Chain A
Amino acid sequence: MKRLTIKDPGQFLFAAFLLTLGTVGVIGATNLRMGIALRMGPGYVPVILSVCLILFGLAVLIRAMRIEGPPLGRWPWKEGGCVFIAILFFAVFIERIGLAAATIGVVVLASLAVPGRRWSKVCTFALLLAFMCVVVFKLLLKLPLSIFPPFMGLL
């Protein structure tokens, strides 16, 4: 009997993901009526799908233990973090600071992800893009967004 080792880390993570999602799916459906095939309740199909996901997860898990796969390498925490924080910034502040400032914020935060940036260039680009977004989204497409912070009472 050989010791069990993870031979394919990527597939192992995928199996973990499927098993988690399937379990959450089953738990989340416990308050839903299952019903029978003739009169399916709201829980019928979701439970079947969740159970299938768990089975798929097990199959992927077995494969990850048996077939060699490539190593995963490093995770881009910094790059991913910057991208997500930039989007988060937009979501949180768009209603408070308006389109122009939100755009500038996103560009500045996202630019933290790349090495060797020059802030003067980043800021010029941010201003340019903010101007463009105002023209395209506010003036041409007329999206219901305010351009400047609403408390300033401008546009």
Chain B
Amino acid sequence: MELFSNLLLGLSEALTLQNMLFCLVGALIGTLVGVLPGIGPLATVAMLLPITYSMPPVTALIMLAGIYYGAQYGGSTTAILVNMPGEASAVVTALDGHQMARQGRAGPALAIAALGSFFAGTVVTALIATIAQPMTEFALRFGAPEFFSLMVFGLVGAVVLASGSILNAFAVIFVGLLLGMVGIDVNSGMYRYTLGFTELAGGISFVPLALGLFGIGEIISNLDRGTQRTIIDSKVSGLMPTKADFRASSGPIVRGTALGGVLGMLPGGGAVLSAFSSYTVEKKLAKDPSRFGQGAIEGVAGPEAANNAGAQASFVPMLTLGIPSNALMALMIGALIMRGIQPGPQVITSNPELFWGLIASMWIGNLMLLVINLPLIGIWVSLLKIPYKYLFPAILVFSAIGVYGVSNSSFDVYLIILFGALGYFFMKIGVEPAPLLLGFVLGPLMEENLRRSMIVSGGDPMVFIQSPISLTLLVLSLILLCLVLFPNIRTKREEAFREE
């Protein structure tokens, strides 16, 4: 019954007026950026990170989490109505969802997407609540070598499950790791790579790094491409799906939830991977696969449940182990560290209200999204009419003010320019920048744990193999690596990402 008392604690925290309000704000902002192409949850969370500085940590996390799962809801709306996935994870939803809309069945598609997401959100919230405690207890037995191996596993997993070249992903992670070294070395007090800037003594600030890489790079890329908006006035009438719709989608929703719940927890997993995998699975299971792409409701129900499940499940490793499974979770860890909370297995006991409050708020947030989203669809679609030429200067202004507001110095604003250029450069040459953030967050932690392991073992690297937990994690990493280098699975992996 400890679970119930914990959930009660969480609910009492999440149901305070302030937290409810910011949960709603987060969900609404998330839906907004999910609807708008050209700005994603990653850039938004980075942009709003400074603003959350004046809030209590739990409120800040509740709002930032709301942005992430809110974006999953919002992305599906425009994917279905105007064939414009505002979010990468909604790309698969557009395949069948928009076909349904063209057949005059936009209402049922939207309703199934929202209900599927809500179902997935509820199940995964319960899942997090049940496995969090055992997982943290397990993780509390970890020493320095185990943590080091866990981070290696996390980084390898992130590389393997990411799309694109594996060599590039590894290289980008190492760039992140090296950037994480900048600043005063805690053990010796020496300045490393600060180039004489005292502002860099505490390391490169997280916010300008993330904002530059994801926000500014994206803006320049959009301006370069020239964003044209095709506005289709689609009237949504008759939201209610038919009985046959429900029957057809119940299976995919359950399977999508399970798939997302598992894939979301893996390093490198999250909403996008879950949605793509679910679509592939449903297509394989279908009696008549040719219906997919022609408006099959299963192709909407499964991926929509999966992307929401995946988004929420990716909080598990972040909350219980302190290891980010994707770039957005790295931002969340950054948000916690900024507030002086070191994420890890101790958070659940040292800050139970933060831990359980966040979990309870996820369910409340999902309920809010279900209630507010369906009636408000017209408003969200009309937001697509905001021309990009007004949107991007506003994003620039908010970013600059936010970054300046945290540090109260112009130095971090200059850093946005530097990392914005880097972000665009990566985009231009087709290198995914997300792993950089993982490396950046994990770099100092890995160094510290490596050092400690070496001191404990007397400089003997065998320590990583002698501990059974550490050995298992390293073997798993090796297996993962072999899997991708093995040609057969490699083509499967590329297929899964090319399913369009």
The reply to whether chain A is a binding partner of chain B is: yes
Measured CB to CB, the residues of A under 8 A from B are: 10-11, 13-14, 17-18, 21, 25, 28-29, 32-33, 36-43, 45-46, 49-50, 52-53, 56-57, 59-60, 63, 69-70, 72, 75-76, 79-80, 83-84, 86-88, 90-92, 94-95, 99, 102-103, 106-107, 110-111, 113-114, 117, 125-126, 129, 133, 137, 141-145
Measured CB to CB, the residues of B under 8 A from A are: 51, 54, 167-168, 170-171, 174-175, 177-178, 181, 185, 187-188, 190, 192-193, 195, 216, 219-220, 223-224, 388-390, 392-394, 396-401, 404-405, 408, 410, 413-414, 416-417, 420-421, 424-425, 428-431, 447, 450-451, 454-455, 458-459, 461
Point out the residue from B171, B185, B393, B455 that lies within 8 Å of A53, measured CB to CB: B171
Contacting pair A84 B420 (CB below 8 A): yes
Q: Please judge, given known A-B contacts A49-B174, A91-B414, whether A145 and B447 are in contact too, CB under 8 Å.
A: no
Contacting pair A76 B192 (CB below 8 A): no
Contacts of B187 in A (CB 8 A): 40, 42
Point out the residue from A38, A80, A114 that lies within 8 Å of B455, measured CB to CB: A38
Contacting pair B223 A45 (CB below 8 A): no
Contacts of B398 in A (CB 8 A): 133
| 27 A-B pairs in the complex with CB atoms less than 8 angstroms apart | A10-B428, A10-B430, A14-B168, A18-B175, A21-B175, A25-B193, A28-B193, A37-B459, A42-B185, A46-B178, A46-B192, A49-B174, A56-B167, A75-B428, A83-B219, A86-B393, A91-B400, A91-B410, A102-B400, A103-B397, A106-B396, A107-B394, A107-B397, A110-B393, A129-B394, A141-B54, A144-B405
Chief secondary structure at chain B's binding surface: helix
Contacts of A83 in B (CB 8 A): 216, 219-220, 223, 392, 396, 420
Contacts of B51 in A (CB 8 A): 141
Minimum CB–CB distance from B140 to chain A (whole Å) comes to: 26
Closest chain A residue to B405, Cβ basis: A143
Q: Please judge, given known A-B contacts A28-B193, A38-B458, A49-B181, whether A129 and B397 are in contact too, CB under 8 Å.
A: yes
Contacting pair B192 A133 (CB below 8 A): no
Q: Please judge, given known A-B contacts A13-B429, A46-B192, whether A76 and B223 are in contact too, CB under 8 Å.
A: yes
Q: Please judge, given known A-B contacts A28-B193, A45-B447, whether A94 and B404 are in contact too, CB under 8 Å.
A: yes
Contacting pair B393 A106 (CB below 8 A): yes
Point out the residue from B167, B223, B400 that lies within 8 Å of A90, measured CB to CB: B400
Point out the residue from A10, A37, A46, A63 that lies within 8 Å of B167, measured CB to CB: A63
Contacts of B389 in A (CB 8 A): 111, 114, 117
Contacting pair A84 B417 (CB below 8 A): yes
| A111 to B413 alpha-carbon distance, docked (Å) | 19
Q: Please judge, given known A-B contacts A141-B51, A141-B54, A145-B401, whether A56 and B174 are in contact too, CB under 8 Å.
A: yes
Point out the residue from B401, B417, B447, B458 that lies within 8 Å of A88, measured CB to CB: B417
Minimum CB–CB distance from A30 to chain B (whole Å) comes to: 12
Contacting pair B458 A142 (CB below 8 A): no
Minimum CB–CB distance from A149 to chain B (whole Å) comes to: 16
Residue among A13, A83, A142 with max Cβ neighbours from chain B (10 Å): A83
Contacting pair A87 B404 (CB below 8 A): no
Minimum CB–CB distance from A12 to chain B (whole Å) comes to: 9
Contacting pair A46 B455 (CB below 8 A): no
Minimum CB–CB distance from B184 to chain A (whole Å) comes to: 9
Contacts of A32 in B (CB 8 A): 185, 190, 192
| A97 to B376 alpha-carbon distance, docked (Å) | 40
Contacting pair B396 A110 (CB below 8 A): yes
Contacts of B393 in A (CB 8 A): 86, 106-107, 110-111, 125-126, 129
Q: Please judge, given known A-B contacts A46-B193, A129-B397, whether A53 and B178 are in contact too, CB under 8 Å.
A: yes
Contacting pair A36 B459 (CB below 8 A): yes
Closest chain B residue to A51, Cβ basis: B174
Contacts of B392 in A (CB 8 A): 83, 110
Closest chain A residue to B193, Cβ basis: A28
Point out the residue from A43, A69, A91 that lies within 8 Å of B413, measured CB to CB: A91
Contacting pair A56 B171 (CB below 8 A): yes
Minimum CB–CB distance from B457 to chain A (whole Å) comes to: 9
| A36 to B455 alpha-carbon distance, docked (Å) | 11
Contacting pair A72 B185 (CB below 8 A): no
| A53 to B405 alpha-carbon distance, docked (Å) | 34
Contacts of A14 in B (CB 8 A): 168, 171, 429, 431
Contacts of B188 in A (CB 8 A): 33, 41-42
Point out the residue from B171, B220, B396 that lies within 8 Å of A18, measured CB to CB: B171
20 additional A-B pairs beyond A37-B459, A38-B455, A40-B187, beta carbons within 8 Å, are A11-B429, A18-B175, A29-B193, A32-B185, A39-B459, A43-B192, A56-B171, A56-B174, A60-B168, A72-B429, A80-B421, A87-B216, A90-B400, A91-B400, A102-B400, A110-B392, A111-B389, A111-B393, A133-B398, A145-B401
Contacts of A38 in B (CB 8 A): 454-455, 458-459
| A65 to B213 alpha-carbon distance, docked (Å) | 27
| A132 to B195 alpha-carbon distance, docked (Å) | 38
| A106 to B216 alpha-carbon distance, docked (Å) | 14
Point out the residue from B181, B388, B405, B451 that lies within 8 Å of A145, measured CB to CB: B405
Contacts of A110 in B (CB 8 A): 392-393, 396
